[in-house]
Amino acid sequence: MKWFLILWAGPVALLGSWYWLSYYDMSFGFYMLTRETHDLVFQVYGNILGLPPESLPPLVARAIAVDSLIVFAILAFRKRKRIAAWWRGRQSVARASAESLSSAP
């Protein structure tokens, strides 16, 4: 499971860091992090997909969000017993505090 998370989070972090660094033109001397490269990459992908380049970042963000929901759903499914025990414990504490307040004078 650890490798599953690493193989998911690694590319997401790499893409996100490249996007933000190149969007704000923080190149640190690397051509790949310049705004010119940023615009060129989205222009190429826009031409390949037949979409305007400015519509691609929201599509990528939506894809990352859906992928993240799937990953977290898999994690929740694998830890469902622990989550259910935590939820039952939380509910019993909430009931106990509600009962003590309802019997107050």
Per residue in 29-39, pLDDT tens? 889 999 999 99
- Please work out, in degrees rounded to the nearest 5, the angle formed at the alpha carbon of residue 93 by the alpha carbons of 87 and 94: 85
Q: pTM of the prediction?
A: 0.74
| 38 close to 22: Cβ distance less than 8 angstroms | yes
**Strands, DSSP E only, in the chain?**
none
Mean pLDDT, rounded, for 1-8: 88
**Predicted local confidence at residue 103, as pLDDT:** 56
Per residue in 82-96, pLDDT tens? 999 998 888 887 776
Question: In the structure, what pLDDT confidence band is assigned to residue 98 with cuts at 50, 70 and 90?
Answer: low
| Residue 48 in this model has a pLDDT that exceeds 70 | yes
